[in-house]
Structure 1
Amino acid sequence: MAYWLFKTEPDTFSIDTLCVQQRSCWEGVRNYQARNMMRDEIHVGDLVLIYHSSCKNVGVAGIAEVVREAYPDHFAFDAASEFYDPKSTPENPRWVMVDVAFVRKMQRTIPLAEMKTMPELAQMPLVKRGNRLSIMPVTEAQWLAILARELG
């Protein structure tokens, strides 16, 4: 089992959305490095920190579990989709997605500002300047440090 952090804008898709749906595809990843992680490294049973970005309360908001490994992101084939990519076809898909299932909401959102003060997270890509990846690996030690902060 591995640990991951998936970023999402809660106005589009949030931990609350996942709570209602219980299971969802994680579509729309359009970065090759993140795509490669989804395709080659993310597996069923891996756990995911759902991270809300571009919002008032930026931070880790919940936990999900990967329940389906990478498969073609069919939104890339749909000209009406915001994730359409004319160079991606069903015969030669350029983009993939995974399915995640709701595990739980955090008792409180763990803010990015707080995470930046934690020595245990100093090497985490999320807290380093300029990191724009929507998917990133999390070590077990980082995972446990974040969960330990949940109760404040």
Structure 2
Amino acid sequence: MAIVRVLFCLCFLHMALAKGSEAQIECTQEVMRVTVPMDGDRRISYLDQMKDYEPCQPNLEGKNAIFVLDLQDPYKCGVTRVLNKKTGKRTYYHKVVIEGAGGDRETVLVRCVVTGKARTLTRREVQPFPLDFNEPDVLNITRNEVGHAPEPMLFAVVKKNGVP
């Protein structure tokens, strides 16, 4: 019985240590940088639905997989952008898939909230009015239109106890 308890404790210890550390997210107006520690039994990491898409693969620095997602062009790597028109906040989402050595998969939702409006202003050259342009001071409106709409008809039947 003692051996079973020891094996049971070792299994829990392995599960706790093998999972690895949490992903770290850094946000700026231009990029979202996601650092995934590849500790424990983590083998590979990739963006959801983009496992073999080369432009969206992480850079490996030591034991970390680093994703740099461009927020100026969110469609490049499938980043979801949500704009709150009242507050001007932009929220960017993506899922990072981490596969372990045993074939198990862990999905981490990464989120970045950017405040402020990132809109580019384009100024166009305005064509000046011609010199002979003249707008009248008084407009004479000589026509008056009067019309009538048809009377609305309601085609609803209200029933009480099956009787209209």
TM-score, with structure 2 as normaliser: 0.24
TM-score, with structure 1 as normaliser: 0.25
> Highest CA radius of gyration, 1 or 2?
2
Greater relative contact order structure (CA < 8 Å, 6+ sep): 1
Return the structure number with greater helix share.
1
